[in-house]
């Protein structure tokens, strides 16, 4: 193996959980922990020498979901300033007077209409006025806006107006995201190019970028400090390739983890066309259609976004699916998840029980090394009492656990493939429980907790 | 108790099964809904009726598929086709069914101004399509060749049949996991417990009786007496007249009343026969809330049921002050452009939603519709000879107040070729009301700017010929405001 490969550090950083791989004594060794309890710096030994860091991260998605970005300016064809906002879907799938929608990442004050128009056949009806742009640039500078997203109608057919505006602003020092440049338009077979999907790519990249930049700089500095030298930090993108974090579009990294997981299933397991892959992680349960070629379009909470997504499914039941009080005065597993801040009740902080808490009460969670260190024994009674308050008829944690397991297996059951390979830290705990459920599927385990890093390592070597 | 655990299994199984469906229901063989997923108000009441009528005329066996779109058999508007498939949950050899799944196949609607439903499109009573595994291609072809069958009819229907067959297979696979036994006694217990839980929800409302009246923009009157007790809620529309333009079926009226009632819950309520046991709708036959054949139903099933739900909310709010809300806009401003080469363009606009006690209303959001995605402007301009000049929120259309009602939407379209423009706005004569000092919102309207001429307001419903370069501007209603900024209120 090349010497520089031995000095590589592999990192998988999600919202709350970190996995690290490094070459120690001629072997690749892995470690994982909750980032909320132990910072990265404390985990990397000063004696480790590394120069190249290969990172797969969900940072872009976290910034988006937790509204941690910075509203960019959005320059849009005159007359369509509200178009993106109008198309943000409602959060509830039922009728309610208490209806809600996800918040748009663009501040209403930062949407600027541009007098331009391109027709469907690409003919330009209205050219961009440079004087108008001059005035606009002054306005943006006055408001300290650095990131600009541009979305014009029919810009994929003829991007000329977007290019003129984009170049004008780049020359004046702005970070510009043009929809015709950053959106993918070679998606699934039914894909029809649409302005909304394209514009969202530009807007979201512009929105995420400032916080992304800040966090990545911090990470790079931390790693350099530990390594006593400037490190070379590269980020995995949605195609499994590596980019410098400073030049990659943040949205190009949101499915890197899933891409690597899918590739792991394809490369490591036999008979790829006959299997499904089930990733049972600390933060996510995901199902992979290993036999599906191509990509689909990302369906975000803001609507469809023109970014390639591999064929996978986030299951309805997730590790931190919240248990709530139901219509018949009993607990049920809701669609909402709590994440790890503050985490499930068994970590001692939260007041809302989750699916993981039912695993804990039934004595399964203690077998998971990554989680065991976080468990608070005193929480067991509190969790039991909480379940009891939801149902005076003692609807137990055992039934909640069974409901969750049935939910996972039934989603898998919809697919025709009979063999399901399970990977991830929770796979050894859940697999025996799957086998107790009536199903035609054969659940098998692939003994690895770190499939993403294993595949990342192979990509690095390629 | 094991039984309530089984009820959660029913919810989870159906939620996962119908994850990718927009409108569907699982019912008993005779049409009592066990689980229902809807997209609009009318469907809440009409979907079970699809099965009830189908069961009345046909005896579906396991795997058999039937179709209907007839509003008087449980359908809604004629461009919505409803497929039913029989399921034998225990896969009995005699193929006798105990359950049915209904699925909607949506085609592009068309507004037709007239007084007979048979002019609105092809009307299909409950008809068998797949019998003993064999597709009846003769019937399918005959329907597809009907002069009023919309474009893409056969293709959409074939795809729908494949989808519903897959749903049946998925149901059987998933039921294997959940091990639910769908015995008559278990289902009866499920409905009974659901009814008891629904009584608790209704018990939160102030008991009593309240009268309400509303005049529609065609001059017809909607009259409602609402009676709330500890056990149930009665919506009595006795005294309602017929309407010139708005006709709802009884099932759609049930859907509107139920939708308005359940919208007052902060959590999602499951829709099944048990909850319907607590709701009674009395609607005189021939009135606008219990239309008879051959009354056309497009306006009733769209704008009509929305304004009915708003009206019911207003009546409940008058009875129980803690449930008072300003009113949202009701009309979805449907319109067609029909070009000479047979190209047909259809669209709607969302009204603004009302403000609440805690926040502003949402701009351009119809709270009674669960499919909010507007079609792509680029795609429309590629496919149709029109140019969309602008589409934005309508300034100052939401009611002012401490919390402002949501703005409506204004859309301006220039046609590039000659065409026929047909539009319809059905709403009350009164504007969307504000509350507690909040101002009323603006109603919807339609304007035309002929090439080289001035802007001209049009009637609420109508049809006229457009020439190339003529422009139409459609403006939807806003939502009512809440509260005022006076010191007393604050």
Span(s) in chain A for CATH 3.40.1360: 69-208
pLDDT digit string (tens) for A393-438?
Answer: 556 788 899 999 999 999 999 988 889 999 999 999 999 999 999 8
Top-confidence residue, A416 or B10: B10
Phi/psi for B102 (5° steps) reads -115, 140
Q: Are B38 and B74 in the same domain?
A: yes
Determine the Cα angle at B65 with ends B59 and B71, to 5°: 85
**In the CATH hierarchy, which top-level class contains the domain A69-208?**
alpha beta
Q: Are B483 and B431 in the same domain?
A: yes
Q: Are B388 and B278 in the same domain?
A: no
Stretch A145-152: mean pLDDT? 97
* A86: nearest CB among B16, B178, B409: B409
Judged by CB atoms closer than 8 Å, whether chains meet at A99 and B353 is answered as: yes
Judged by CB atoms closer than 8 Å, whether chains meet at B391 and A94 is answered as: no
Judged by CB atoms closer than 8 Å, whether chains meet at B392 and A120 is answered as: no
Q: How far is B29 from chain A (nearest CA, A)?
A: 24
Q: Does residue A439 sit at the B interface (CB-CB below 8 Å)?
A: yes
Contact A158, A193 (CB under 8 A): no
Q: Are B278 and B155 in the same domain?
A: no
Determine the Cα angle at A441 with ends A440 and A445, to 5°: 150
Residue B14 has pLDDT above 70, yes or no: yes
Judged by CB atoms closer than 8 Å, whether chains meet at A97 and B409 is answered as: no
Q: Does residue A316 sit at the B interface (CB-CB below 8 Å)?
A: yes
Determine the Cα angle at A387 with ends A381 and A390, to 5°: 140
Judged by CB atoms closer than 8 Å, whether chains meet at A97 and B313 is answered as: yes
Please tell me whether residue A51 adopts helix, strand or coil conformation: coil
Distance CA B356, CA B324 (A): 9
Enumerate the residues of chain A whose CB falls inside 8 A of the CB of residue B308: none
Fold of the CATH domain A3-64+210-253: Nucleotidyltransferase; domain 5 (3.30.420)
Enumerate the residues of chain A whose CB falls inside 8 A of the CB of residue B404: none
Tokens 């690895």 — which residue? A448
Judged by CB atoms closer than 8 Å, whether chains meet at A413 and B194 is answered as: no
User: Is the C-alpha dihedral spanning A258, A262, A265, A268 positive or negative?
Assistant: negative
Q: Are B60 and B159 in the same domain?
A: yes
Span(s) in chain A for CATH 3.30.420.40: 3-64+210-253
Q: Are B230 and B337 in the same domain?
A: no
Distance CA A223, CA B323 (A): 57
Tell me the pLDDT band of A214, cut-offs 50, 70 and 90.
very high
**Domain endpoint, select from B309, B324, B339:** B324
A:B CB pairs within 8 Å: 167
Q: Are B408 and B447 in the same domain?
A: yes
Distance CA B299, CA B461 (A): 10
Distance CA A375, CA A345 (A): 9
- Residue to mutate among A154, A410, A436, with most B CBs inside 10 A, is A410
Enumerate the residues of chain A whose CB falls inside 8 A of the CB of residue B265: 96
Residue in A closest to B323 by C-alpha: A97
Q: How far is A308 from chain B (nearest CA, A)?
A: 19
Q: Are B317 and B204 in the same domain?
A: yes
Residue B30 has what pLDDT? 93
Distance CA A349, CA B233 (A): 43
- Residue to mutate among A327, A330, A396, A434, with most B CBs inside 10 A, is A327
Contact B329, B304 (CB under 8 A): no
Top-confidence residue, B130 or A296: B130
Judged by CB atoms closer than 8 Å, whether chains meet at B372 and A87 is answered as: yes
Judged by CB atoms closer than 8 Å, whether chains meet at A440 and B174 is answered as: no
For residue B100, the domain's CATH number is 3.30.450
Judged by CB atoms closer than 8 Å, whether chains meet at B193 and A196 is answered as: no
Q: Which helix (H) or strand (E) holds A234?
A: strand A232-236
ipTM for this prediction: 0.93
* B179: nearest CB among A92, A96, A438: A438
Contact A169, A137 (CB under 8 A): yes
Judged by CB atoms closer than 8 Å, whether chains meet at B9 and A403 is answered as: yes
Residue B344 has pLDDT above 90, yes or no: yes
According to the 3-state scheme, what is the secondary structure of chain B? CHHHHHHHHHHHHHHHHCCCCCCEEEEECCCCEEEEECCEHHHHHHHHHHHHHHHHHCCCCECCEEEECCHHHCCCCCCEEEEEEEECCCCCCCCCCCEEEEEEEECCCCCCCCCCHHHCCCCCCCEEEEECCEECHHHHHHHHCCCCCCCCHHHHHHHHHHHHHHHHHHHHHHHHHHCCCCCHHHHHHHHHHHHHHHHHHHCCCCCEEEEEEEEECCCCEEEEEEEECCCCEEEECCCCCCCCCCCCCHHHHHHHHHHHHHCCCCCCCCCCHHHHCCEEEECCCCCCCCCCCCCCCHHHHHHHHHHHHHHHHHHHHHHCHHHCCCCCCCCCCEEEEEECCCCEEEECCCCCCCCCCCCCCCCCCCCCECCCCCCCHHHHHHHCCEEEEEEEECCCCCCCCCECCCCCEEEEEEECCCEEEEEECCCECCCCCCECCCCCCCCCEEEEECCCCCEEECCCEEEEEECCCCEEEEECCCCCCECCCCCCCC
Judged by CB atoms closer than 8 Å, whether chains meet at B173 and A410 is answered as: yes
Enumerate the residues of chain A whose CB falls inside 8 A of the CB of residue B37: 93
Q: How far is CA A203 from the centre of its chain?
A: 17
Q: Are B191 and B306 in the same domain?
A: yes
User: What is the residue range of B159's domain?
Assistant: 2-181
Average pLDDT of every residue of chain A: 89
Q: Which of A462, A458, A409, A457 is nearest to A433 (CA)?
A: A409
Q: Which of B188, B158, B182, B191 is nearest to B87 (CA)?
A: B182
Stretch A124-144: mean pLDDT? 94
pLDDT digit string (tens) for B240-298?
Answer: 988 888 999 999 999 999 999 999 998 899 999 999 999 999 999 999 999 999 999 99
Residue A48 has what pLDDT? 62
Highest averaged pLDDT of the listed ranges A219-223, A291-295, B93-97, B164-168: B164-168
Top-confidence residue, A451 or B392: B392
DSSP class of A367: G
**Domain endpoint, select from B255, B290, B324:** B324
Q: How far is B263 from chain A (nearest CA, A)?
A: 4
pLDDT digit string (tens) for A86-116?
Answer: 999 999 989 999 899 999 999 999 999 999 9
Residue B488 has what pLDDT? 60
pLDDT digit string (tens) for B196-227?
Answer: 999 999 999 999 999 999 988 888 889 999 99
* B372: nearest CB among A90, A409, A413: A90
Q: How far is A388 from chain B (nearest CA, A)?
A: 12
% of chain A with per-residue pLDDT over 70:
94
* A97: nearest CB among B177, B356, B391: B356
Enumerate the residues of chain B whose CB falls inside 8 A of the CB of residue A99: 353, 362, 365, 367
Q: How far is B464 from chain A (nearest CA, A)?
A: 26
Enumerate the residues of chain B whose CB falls inside 8 A of the CB of residue A192: 376, 379
Stretch B142-156: mean pLDDT? 93
Q: How far is B200 from chain A (nearest CA, A)?
A: 10
Phi/psi for B117 (5° steps) reads -60, -30
Q: How far is CA A188 from the centre of its chain?
A: 20
Top-confidence residue, A462 or A344: A344
Q: Are B421 and B438 in the same domain?
A: yes
Residue A284 has what pLDDT? 94
Judged by CB atoms closer than 8 Å, whether chains meet at A303 and B373 is answered as: yes
Tell me the pLDDT band of B95, cut-offs 50, 70 and 90.
confident
Cα torsion A174, A179, A185, A188 to 10°: value is 100
Residue A124 has pLDDT above 90, yes or no: yes
**Domain endpoint, select from B181, B212, B233:** B181
Q: Are B20 and B143 in the same domain?
A: yes
Enumerate the residues of chain B whose CB falls inside 8 A of the CB of residue A97: 263-264, 313, 325, 354, 356, 367
What is the domain count for chain B?
3
Top-confidence residue, B413 or B216: B413
Distance CA A416, CA A286 (A): 17
Q: Are B16 and B119 in the same domain?
A: yes
Residue in A closest to B407 by C-alpha: A86
Stretch B306-313: mean pLDDT? 94
- Residue to mutate among B11, B178, B328, with most A CBs inside 10 A, is B178
């Amino acid at each position: 193996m090349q010497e520089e490969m031995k000095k590589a550090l592999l990192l998988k950083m999600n919202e709350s959980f970190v996995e690290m791989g490094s070459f120690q004594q001629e072997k690749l060794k892995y470690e994982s922990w909750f980032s909320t309890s132990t910072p990265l710096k404390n985990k990397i030994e000063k004696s480790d020498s590394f120069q190249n860091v290969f990172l797969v991260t969900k940072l872009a998605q976290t910034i988006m979901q937790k509204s941690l970005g910075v509203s960019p300016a959005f320059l849009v064809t005159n007359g369509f300033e509200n178009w993106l906002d109008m198309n943000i879907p409602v959060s509830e799938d039922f009728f309610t007077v208490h209806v809600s929608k996800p918040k748009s990442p663009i501040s209403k004050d930062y949407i600027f209409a541009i007098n331009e128009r391109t027709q469907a056949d690409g003919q330009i009806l209205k050219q961009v006025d440079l004087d108008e742009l001059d005035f606009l640039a002054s306005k943006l500078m006055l408001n300290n806006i650095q990131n600009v997203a541009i979305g014009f109608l029919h810009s994929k057919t003829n991007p000329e107006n977007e290019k003129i505006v984009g170049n004008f602003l780049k020359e004046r020092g702005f970070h510009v995201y043009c929809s015709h440049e950053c959106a993918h338009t070679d998606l699934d077979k039914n894909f029809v190019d649409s302005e909304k999907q394209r514009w969202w790519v530009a807007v979201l990249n512009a929105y995420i970028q400032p916080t992304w930049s800040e966090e990545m700089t911090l990470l790079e500095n931390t790693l350099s400090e530990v390594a006593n030298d400037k490190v070379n930090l590269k980020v995995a993108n949605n195609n499994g390739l590596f980019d410098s974090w400073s030049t990659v579009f943040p949205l190009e990294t949101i499915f890197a983890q899933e891409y690597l997981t899918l590739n792991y299933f394809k490369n490591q397991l036999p008979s790829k066309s006959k299997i499904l892959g089930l990733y049972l992680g600390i933060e996510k349960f995901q199902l992979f259609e290993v036999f599906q070629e191509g990509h689909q379009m990302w369906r975000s909470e803001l609507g469809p976004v023109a970014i390639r997504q591999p064929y996978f499914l986030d299951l309805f039941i997730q590790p931190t699916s919240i248990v709530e009080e139901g219509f018949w005065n009993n607990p049920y597993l809701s669609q909402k998840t709590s994440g790890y801040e503050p985490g499930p009740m068994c970590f001692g902080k939260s007041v809302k029980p989750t699916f993981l808490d039912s695993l804990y009460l039934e004595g399964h969670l203690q077998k998971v090394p990554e989680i065991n260190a976080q468990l608070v024994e005193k929480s067991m009674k509190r969790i039991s009492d909480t379940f009891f308050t939801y149902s005076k008829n003692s609807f137990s944690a055992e039934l909640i656990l069974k409901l969750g397991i049935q939910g996972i297996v039934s989603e898998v059951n919809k697919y025709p493939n009979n063999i399901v390979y399970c990977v991830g830290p929770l796979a050894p705990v859940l697999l025996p429980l799957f086998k107790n459920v009536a199903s035609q599927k054969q659940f098998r385990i692939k003994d690895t907790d770190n499939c993403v890093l294993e595949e990342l390592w192979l990509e690095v070597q390629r | 108790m094991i039984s309530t655990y089984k009820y959660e299994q029913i919810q989870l199984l159906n939620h996962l099964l119908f994850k990718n469906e927009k409108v569907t229901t699982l019912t008993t063989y005779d049409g009592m809904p066990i689980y229902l997923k809807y997209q609009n108000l009318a469907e809440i009441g009409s979907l079970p009726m699809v099965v009830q009528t189908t069961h009345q005329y046909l005896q579906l066996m396991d795997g058999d598929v039937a179709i209907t779109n007839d509003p008087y058999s449980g359908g809604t508007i004629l461009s919505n086709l409803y497929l039913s498939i029989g399921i034998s949950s225990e896969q009995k050899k005699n193929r006798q069914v105990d359950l049915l799944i209904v699925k909607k196949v949506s085609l592009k609607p068309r507004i037709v101004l007239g007084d007979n439903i048979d002019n609105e499109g092809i009307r299909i009573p409950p008809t068998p399509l797949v019998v003993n595994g064999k597709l009846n291609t003769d019937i399918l072809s005959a329907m597809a060749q009907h002069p009023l069958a919309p474009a893409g009819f056969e293709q959409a229907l074939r795809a729908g049949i494949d989808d519903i067959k897959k749903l049946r297979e998925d149901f059987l696979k998933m039921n294997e996991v959940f091990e639910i036994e769908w015995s008559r006694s278990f289902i009866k217990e499920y409905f009974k417990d659901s009814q008891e839980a629904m009584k608790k929800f209704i018990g939160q409302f102030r008991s009593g009786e309240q009268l309400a009246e509303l005049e529609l923009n065609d001059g017809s009157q909607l009259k409602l007496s609402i009676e709330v007790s500890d056990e149930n809620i009665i919506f009595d529309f006795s005294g309602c007249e017929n309407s010139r333009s708005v006709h709802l079926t009884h099932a759609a009226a049930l859907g509107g009343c139920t939708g308005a009632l359940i919208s007052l819950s902060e959590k999602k309520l499951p829709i099944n026969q048990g909850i319907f046991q607590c709701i009674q709708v009395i609607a005189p036959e021939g009135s606008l809330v219990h239309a008879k054949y051959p009354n056309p139903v497009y306006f009733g099933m769209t704008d009509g049921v929305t304004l009915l739900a708003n009206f019911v909310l207003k009546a409940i709010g008058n009875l129980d002050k803690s449930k008072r809300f300003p009113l949202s806009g009701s009309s979805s401003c449907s319109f067609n452009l029909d070009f000479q080469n047979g190209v047909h363009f259809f669209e709607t606009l969302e009204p603004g939603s009302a403000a609440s006690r805690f926040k502003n209303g949402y701009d351009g959001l119809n709270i009674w519709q669960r499919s909010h995605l507007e079609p792509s402007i680029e795609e429309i301009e590629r496919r149709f000879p029109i140019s969309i000049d602008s589409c934005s929120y309508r300034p100052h259309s939401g009611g002012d107040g401490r919390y402002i009602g949501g703005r409506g939407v204004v859309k301006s379209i220039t046609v590039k070729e000659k065409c026929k423009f047909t539009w319809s706005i059905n709403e009350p004569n009164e504007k969307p009301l504000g509350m507690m000092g909040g101002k009323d919102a603006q109603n919807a309207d339609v304007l035309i700017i002929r090439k080289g001429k001035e802007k001209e307001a049009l009637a609420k419903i109508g049809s006229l010929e457009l020439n190339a370069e003529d422009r139409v501007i459609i403006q939807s209603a806003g939502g009512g405001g809440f509260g005022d900024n006076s010191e007393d209120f604050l």
